[in-house]
Amino acid sequence: MNVNDFDFNLPERLIAQTPLLDRTASRLLVLDKESGEVAHHQFSHFVDELEKGDVLVLNDTRVLPARLIGKKEDTGATIEVLLLKENGADEWETLVKPAKRIKIGHVVTFGDGRLQAECTEILEQGGRVFKFKYDGIFYEILDSLGKMPLPPYITESLEDQERYQTVFAKERGSAAAPTAGLHFTPELLDQLRRKGVDIAFITLHVGLGTFRPVSFEAIEEHTIY
């Protein structure tokens, strides 16, 4: 299967740059799997599509402010580091831009030295492993220095970082939001429960696979992270 088979035109004016104040005001596409009929609604009508006894499974992962902008210690060059996976003992797998500037032993500093990262391993396609050094609590420092890793087609900055979390986000670890869940509100979930819909939670952290483009013409040759 060729990646070009999936090409389509998406006008930029149709790509929302800022979130709606009302999460449920987004559009909802409903497909009847038996008839093939397609209907267009608002997400607030999602309750109408489920019945008593149905099970709704939601991903309770919480997005980290995983995008860090720092300076290479020896040259002052600007380096962007995207945290992907914590390996333990303050060591993280990351995606770096520009990766060619970072070799083993190079140090990147963030927030006037509040956070330092030394490269300990080079991974494929721009990946690097960093060992972090800091005083205090890592996640508190990350909350103050990091930014939400928005998709590349979103060019507007996000004023309220909580808006890129689902209302049921709990287990931190994602490098990006499970975006289908962003449309739910506590009120909508309460409506579903009153209707008799069972709600179950799983934790599935979103990682590098959501950022890395398919670099082969044949999809079968692409390795999913």
Residue 44 belongs to some domain of the structure: no
Could you tell me if 59 and 114 lie in one domain? no
Could you tell me if 203 and 135 lie in one domain? no
Residue 106 belongs to some domain of the structure: yes
Dist CA 20 CA 38 (whole Å): 24
Mean predicted confidence (pLDDT) in 150-161: 79
Checking if the pLDDT of 48 tops 80, the result is yes
Dist CA 21 CA 129 (whole Å): 38
Whole-number average pLDDT of the chain = 92
Dist CA 192 CA 82 (whole Å): 36
Could you tell me if 193 and 217 lie in one domain? yes
Could you tell me if 219 and 178 lie in one domain? yes
Cβ 214 vs Cβ 125: under 8 Å:
no
C-alpha distances in angstroms, 149 versus 72, 90, 118, 141, 198?
20, 20, 21, 16, 32
pLDDT of residue 26: 93
pLDDT of residue 15: 87
Mean predicted confidence (pLDDT) in 60-89: 94
pLDDT of residue 176: 86
Could you tell me if 210 and 180 lie in one domain? yes
User: Which among 112, 145, 178 is the end of a domain?
Assistant: 145
Mean predicted confidence (pLDDT) in 141-145: 94
Could you tell me if 139 and 167 lie in one domain? no
Checking if the pLDDT of 33 tops 80, the result is yes
pLDDT of residue 45: 95
Residue 14 belongs to some domain of the structure: no
Residue 4 belongs to some domain of the structure: no
Cβ 107 vs Cβ 117: under 8 Å:
yes
Could you tell me if 58 and 101 lie in one domain? no
pLDDT category at 216 given cuts 50, 70, 90 is confident
User: Which among 116, 145, 174 is the end of a domain?
Assistant: 145
Checking if the pLDDT of 211 tops 80, the result is no
**When comparing pLDDT for 37 and 160, which is higher?**
37
pLDDT of residue 120: 97
Could you tell me if 72 and 177 lie in one domain? no
Q: Which of 25-39, 50-64, 176-190, 203-217 has the lowest mean pLDDT?
A: 203-217
Q: What is the pLDDT of residues 85-140, one digit of tens each?
A: 899 899 999 999 999 999 999 999 999 999 999 999 999 878 999 999 999 999 99
The domain total for the chain is 2
Could you tell me if 171 and 108 lie in one domain? no
Residue 103 belongs to some domain of the structure: yes
Could you tell me if 141 and 71 lie in one domain? yes
Residue 134 belongs to some domain of the structure: yes
Checking if the pLDDT of 32 tops 90, the result is yes
Where does residue 60 rank: exposed (0-12), middle (13-18), buried (19+ CB within 10 A)?
middle
pLDDT category at 224 given cuts 50, 70, 90 is confident
Q: What is the pLDDT of residues 183-202, one digit of tens each?
A: 999 999 999 999 999 999 99
- Residue 218: give the domain boundaries: 51-64+158-225
Residue 36 belongs to some domain of the structure: no
Could you tell me if 89 and 116 lie in one domain? yes
pLDDT of residue 19: 86
Element (H, E) at 128: strand 127-134
Mean predicted confidence (pLDDT) in 2-11: 91
Residue 221 belongs to some domain of the structure: yes
pLDDT of residue 106: 97
Which pair of structure tokens corresponds to residue 37?
């009929």
Dist CA 188 CA 176 (whole Å): 23
Could you tell me if 81 and 60 lie in one domain? no
Q: Which residue has the tokens 């006894």?
A: 53
Domain containing residue 105: CATH number: 2.40.10.240
